[in-house]
Amino acid sequence: MERINLRELYPFYEYDLFLEVTDKLAELLKLLSRKEHADYERRRAHKAYYSLDANDGIESDFTLLVLSPEEIYQRKLSRQELYTAVNSLPEKQAKRIYAHFFLGMSKAEIARIEGVDKSAVTRSIEQALKNMEKFLKNFS
């Protein structure tokens, strides 16, 4: 059995906390620490202070396949149909759909901002989706 300090593994710990772990686990923790340090040194040596998976869109730009003109046109039509369907909704439903699906707001946030109950927002969004479905079926 080996004794480790959890404060070394978790920097947010404000005090030392020692724990006895098996030798195998202690070796794995040391191996992980060495690998992290090696990765840090590799990034430092190559001045690679950026990441493609930083959720800033760079990774998707590099991994996105080139679309054919037909696929681009089809996506544009689909997007136009979607916007037309949203615009066909009553104003309140359209605002709630836009806030929930386009802005990523939760139903509770929308309800709080509008000063209504969350169930009213939920029903409104569900009804809006049904209306959009009917519109898109007739649109095609």
Arithmetic mean of pLDDT over the chain:
84
Other C-beta atoms closer than 10 Å to the C-beta of 21 total 15
Could you read off the pLDDT of 56-102 as tens digits, one per residue? 666 666 665 667 778 877 878 788 888 888 888 999 999 999 999 88
d(CA 69, CA 91): 34
Number of domains in the chain: 2
How much is the pTM? 0.49
Q: What is the CA radius of gyration of the chain?
A: 26
Closest to 65 (Cα-Cα) out of 75, 77, 55, 80: 75
Please say whether the beta carbons of 4 and 19 come within 8 A: yes
Looking at 64, 83, 103, which one is the last position of a domain?
64
Which residues form the domain of 135?
67-139
Question: Are residues 31 and 89 part of one domain?
Answer: no
Question: Are residues 19 and 49 part of one domain?
Answer: yes
Give the least confident one: 5-14, 23-32, 44-53, 124-133: 44-53
